[in-house]
Structure 1
Amino acid sequence: MQIVGRGFLAGHLESIASAHPRAVVLAAGVSATSDTSHDDYGREAAVLYDTADRCASRGERLVFFSTASAGMYSVPGRVGKESGPVFPATPYGRHKLALETVLASSTVDYLILRLAHVVGPRQPPHQLLPSLAAQIRAGVVSIQRGAQRDLIDVDDVVRIIDELLSTGVSREVVNVASGVAVPAEQIVDHLEMRLGRTAERRYNDSLRAQAVSVEKLRALAPCVRDMNFGPDYFRAVLDKYVTSFAGTPS
Structure 2
Amino acid sequence: MHIVGTGFLARSLAPIADAHPDTVVLAAGVSWASGTSGTDFAREAALLADTARRCAADGRRLLFFSTASTGMYGNANGPGREDEPVEPCTPYGRHKLALEGQLQDSGADHLILRLGHLVGPGQPPHQLLPALLRQVRSGAVQIHRGAARDLISVADVITVIDRLLGLGLRGEVVNVASGFAVPVERIVDHLEHRLGVRVERTWSDSGAQHAIAIERLTALVPDVARHFGPAYYRPVLDTFLAAA
Fold shared per TM-score above 0.5: yes
Q: CA deviation at 1:207?
A: 4.5
CA distance in 2 between counterparts of 1:207 and 1:134 reads: 20
**What's the Cα RMSD here?**
1.3
Shift of 1:205: 2.6
Contact 1:163 1:223 in 2 (8 A): no
Contact 1:74/1:207 (<8 A) preserved: no
Is residue 174–residue 217 contact of structure 1 (8 Å, CA) maintained in 2?
Answer: yes
Partner of 1:20: 20
User: How many residue pairs align between the two structures?
Assistant: 244
Q: Which amino acid is 1:198 matched to?
A: R
**What amino acid does structure 2 have at the position aligned with 1:73?**
Y
In the alignment, is residue 159 of structure 1 matched against residue 159 of structure 2?
Answer: yes
Question: In the alignment, is the contact (CA less than 8 A) between 1:149 and 1:182 conserved in 2?
Answer: yes
Shift in Å, 1:77: 4.9
| Dislocated runs of 4+, deviation >6 Å | none
Percent identity, please. 60
| Paired position in structure 1 for 2:126 | 126
Cα distance in 2 for residues equivalent to 1:207 and 1:124: 22
Instruction: List per-residue Cα deviations over 1:215-241 (Å, max 9, x = no partner).
Output: 000112233244x10010001111112
1:7-86 alignment runs, 5 A limit:
7-75=7-75, 77-86=77-86
Query: Does the residue aligned with 1:211 lie in a helix, a strand or coil?
Result: coil
Q: For the residues of structure 1 that align with 2:206 and 2:3, how far apart are their CA atoms?
A: 34
CA contact (8 A) 2:76 2:86 kept: no
Distance 1:105 1:76, change over 3 A: closer
Deviates more, 1:191-200 or 1:161-170: 191-200
Rounded Cα–Cα distance in structure 2 between residues aligned with 1:84 and 1:224? 24
- Which runs of no fewer than 5 residues in structure 1 stay unpaired? 246-250
CA contact 2:100–2:112 (8 Å) conserved in 1: yes
Q: Secondary structure of the equivalent of 1:19?
A: coil
* Match of residue 103 from structure 1: 103
Give 1:125 shift: 0.6
The question of whether the paired residues in 2 share the 8 Å contact of 1:24 and 1:60 is answered with yes
For residues 2 and 176 of structure 2, the distance between their equivalents in structure 1, rounded to whole angstroms, comes to 21
User: Could you tell me how far 1:10 is from its partner in structure 2?
Assistant: 0.4
Q: Name 1:248's counterpart in structure 2.
A: none
SS in 1 for 2:66: strand
Summarize the alignment of residues 111-122 of structure 1 with structure 2, pairs less than 5 Å apart: 111-122=111-122
In the other structure, the counterpart of 2:186 is 186
Conservation of the 8 A alpha-carbon contact between 1:178 and 1:230: yes
Q: 3-state SS of the aligned residue for 1:143?
A: strand
Judging changes above 3 Å, is the alpha-carbon distance between structure 1 residues 206 and 170 closer, same or farther for their aligned structure 2 residues? farther
State how far apart, in whole Å, the 2-side matches of 1:206 and 1:49 are. 37
Counterpart residue type for residue 23 of structure 1: T
The answer to whether the 8 A contact 2:64-2:112 is kept is yes
Name the residue aligned to 1:234: 233
CA contact (8 A) 1:76 1:208 kept: no
